[in-house]
Amino acid sequence: MTEHFGTIESHPVHHAGAPETYAPSAAFREQARINDPSVYWRAAEDPENYWAEQAQNLQWTKPFTEILDWSNPPFAKWFADGELNVASNCLDRHVAAGLGERVAIHFEGEPGDSRSITYAELTHEVKRAANMLTSLGVEAGDRVAIYMPMIPETIISMLAVARLGAAHSVVFGGFSAESLRARIDDAEAELVITSDGGYRKNRVSSLKPTVDDALALHGGGSTVQKVLVVERTKNDVTMVPGRDLWWHEEITAFDGDHEAQGFPAENPLFILYTSGTTGKPKGILHTSGGYLTQVSTTHKNVFDLKPETDVYWCTADIGWVTGHSYVVYGPLANGATQVIYEGTPETPTWGRWWEIIQKYGVSIFYTAPTAIRSFMKLGSEIPDQYDLSSIRVLGSVGEPINPEAWRWYRDVIGAGSAPIVDTWWQTETGAIMIAPLPGLTNLKPGSAQVPLPGISATVVDDEGNPVGNGRGGLLVIQRPWPSMVRTIWGDDQRFIDTYWEKFGDQYFAGDGARLDEDGDVWLLGRVDDVMNVSGHRLSTAEIESALVEHSSIAEAAVVGASDPTTGQAVVAYCVLKAQQELLTDDNAEAELKKHVAAQIGAIARPRNIYVVAELPKTRSGKIVRRILKDLAEGREIGDVTTLADTMVMSTIQDKIAARQ
């Protein structure tokens, strides 16, 4: 490991053949929370004990005596005989420690309204909400679906559910009625919390109507008993008597007295659905004690958090895992002050994010490469108009960050000096797994570099043997970690098949990776049928099945094609049914894009849809997506000799050329 910890110079070091590196400045290193490299080997000697020490930073209502139970792999239990309340760890304990007046959330609404909420106020609101949810019948073990914009009530809802020992299932507000309903059904949620809308791009998002549509699907019968509606935009929504209730009316009956009860460390905290290789999204289950331990530890260490002085901002939507771990649970467990912003980065102008950083003095900023690339395209003139001097740490997540974007991010947003932590992790890992420690690591643009203390990750070949430095293969995690996925909700077998079948007791992440000569990890993208579009995970199979649900489509093949801004983009090839009248070459693309957005959500809308006469297939009838991907990426198409009909591709190429 020693090669990561070099000199104290802050300039990039270029050697012939060696990658550029950026060492932490002496000043940064000096003040860093972690600046002693021995943390790595001490944790490696006894990882379980390392995590047990980290867990002691939480407040346990019943101390644990067991650390890891791996007696029934791959079903891990961490701190299983301990008990804690996740919400009071994020709230009450800070108030009890005298930090009640510290701001927990600076909320910035898209239209320009803002609210600052202290830890005392947030605790009070969560207690009231917990009492309200109890009156609606929510109990430990139940599931509550949350379909909300980025407003404080979303966080209040999640914490109130957690406080009662129930589990939330947050569904990203951009998902369609179909997608929402599938998630409600799979989790058997009894309550949905939503709002009359949120502001995005100067418009009101239609959340409540989508909930109504979702609950009306499949003949109407669902597990949902009540729908609680937060008032945000005051636009007209229909309230179904007996089912729908206004939050602001219900809450008036409840005060802020609520004693938090401890629940077992393995009590479910949330289910979050993510795309897999098949059409059906996977309900990733996370539990309480181990999850909170790892999200709080990583949030502190990776971002070098000083909760007394830092102002932290993670731009992720709460509907994704980054929002769960690094907007809600990590920062709040650490007593951090953070910004949350409701809207989009370009509203009303592309200066909005930088204006927010200036306004609140944001010192730690965490976003995705796709956003950085969008800003980069517009140049540095816009950010240069704002005072960004408060920034001292930058983070990146969601996909590999290309070195050009990395340098722009550091130079323009980080004044040429802020360390960038490129954090690799997944919905399934729950928390950051591979990332630099900013006071220690000599940064290499484009690489997430080093497994965090207590994490053992490496790159193996197809047989599961470590490839060694300088070689590529598949990323695996070798030992259980506290915030790991516990199972796929309701489907233990799929959990085993997806992550553990390939390499036995090593977790298969689904990512290709390479180790460089120093042993640093470079992520190379997914090796399965999962695409990464603007940092969002989408499954090719899910979009294909949405397409073939259209009455005019006989067959569809979807590929992820590289895209300069979004990382990857969805490209679909469709074959029309012989006897159909709806679609023509001219209207097909628009109609099918709309169809996919309605079926899954706008994030899944294909960039291109090509109607073709036939798809390239092998003699055994398998679609050869590799060739379609070559075509979509504008490359010379690869070997076609395995195709049953080698002419198919030239017909497709001619067709596409004619359309362009």
How many residues does this entry show for the chain? 660
CB of 235 to ligand WTA, least distance (A): 31
* Backbone angles phi and psi of 565, in degrees to 5: -105, -50
Determine contact, residues 329/163, Cβ cutoff 8 Å: no
Determine contact, residues 575/610, Cβ cutoff 8 Å: no
3-state secondary structure of 372: helix
Determine contact, residues 160/126, Cβ cutoff 8 Å: yes
- Cα separation, 387 vs 409, in Å, equals 15
Both structure tokens of 510: 């689904």
What's the Cα-to-Cα distance from 316 to each of 175, 210, 325, rounded to whole Å?
16, 22, 10
Nearer CB in complex with ligand WTA: 210/322 = 322
Nearer CB in complex with ligand WTA: 274/296 = 274
Nearer CB in complex with ligand WTA: 258/514 = 514
Burial label, 14 (beta-carbon count in 10 A; 0-12, 13-18, 19+): exposed
- Compute, in degrees rounded to 10, the torsion defined by CA atoms 92, 96, 98, 102: 0
* Backbone angles phi and psi of 448, in degrees to 5: -80, -15
* Backbone angles phi and psi of 506, in degrees to 5: -100, 135
Q: Which amino acid is at 284?
A: I
CB of 508 to ligand WTA, least distance (A): 11
Nearer CB in complex with ligand WTA: 511/529 = 511
3-state secondary structure of 263: strand
Q: What angle do CA 300, 303, 305 make, to 5 degrees?
A: 50
Nearer CB in complex with ligand WTA: 47/510 = 510
Binding site for ligand WTA (CB under 6 A): 274, 320-322, 397-400, 422-427, 448, 509-511, 523, 526, 532, 537
Determine how many CB atoms are found less than 10 A away from the CB of residue 549: 13
Determine contact, residues 488/498, Cβ cutoff 8 Å: yes
CB of 448 to ligand WTA, least distance (A): 5
Determine contact, residues 495/488, Cβ cutoff 8 Å: yes
Nearer CB in complex with ligand WTA: 427/552 = 427
CB of 475 to ligand WTA, least distance (A): 8
CB of 320 to ligand WTA, least distance (A): 6
CB of 66 to ligand WTA, least distance (A): 29
Nearer CB in complex with ligand WTA: 138/182 = 182
CB of 275 to ligand WTA, least distance (A): 8
What's the Cα-to-Cα distance from 343 to each of 199, 209, 322, 356, 496, rounded to whole Å?
6, 20, 17, 12, 38
Nearer CB in complex with ligand WTA: 188/491 = 491
Distance of CA 517 to the CA centre of its chain: 30
Distance of CA 11 to the CA centre of its chain: 32
Nearer CB in complex with ligand WTA: 267/532 = 532
Both structure tokens of 228: 């609680």
CB of 423 to ligand WTA, least distance (A): 5
Burial label, 587 (beta-carbon count in 10 A; 0-12, 13-18, 19+): exposed
Return the closest-CA partner of residue 79 out of 97, 55, 96. Answer: 55
- Cα separation, 55 vs 67, in Å, equals 10
Nearer CB in complex with ligand WTA: 264/319 = 319
CB of 471 to ligand WTA, least distance (A): 18
DSSP line for 12-29: -EEETTEEEEBPPPHHHH
3-state secondary structure of 487: strand
CB of 526 to ligand WTA, least distance (A): 5
CB of 459 to ligand WTA, least distance (A): 13
Determine contact, residues 421/395, Cβ cutoff 8 Å: yes
Nearer CB in complex with ligand WTA: 325/347 = 325
Count the helices and strands in the chain (H runs, E runs).
22, 32
CB of 65 to ligand WTA, least distance (A): 32
CB of 534 to ligand WTA, least distance (A): 11
Determine contact, residues 640/653, Cβ cutoff 8 Å: no
CB of 636 to ligand WTA, least distance (A): 26
Nearer CB in complex with ligand WTA: 352/537 = 537
Nearer CB in complex with ligand WTA: 514/537 = 537
> Most distant CA pair in the chain: distance in Å?
74
Nearer CB in complex with ligand WTA: 191/488 = 488
SS (H, E, C) 128-142: HHHHHHHHCCCCCCC
Burial label, 53 (beta-carbon count in 10 A; 0-12, 13-18, 19+): middle
- CA Rg value for the chain: 25
Both structure tokens of 278: 């098949």
Determine contact, residues 422/16, Cβ cutoff 8 Å: no
Nearer CB in complex with ligand WTA: 157/325 = 325
Return the closest-CA partner of residue 147 out of 245, 227, 223. Answer: 227
Nearer CB in complex with ligand WTA: 195/297 = 297
CB of 367 to ligand WTA, least distance (A): 12
CB of 507 to ligand WTA, least distance (A): 12
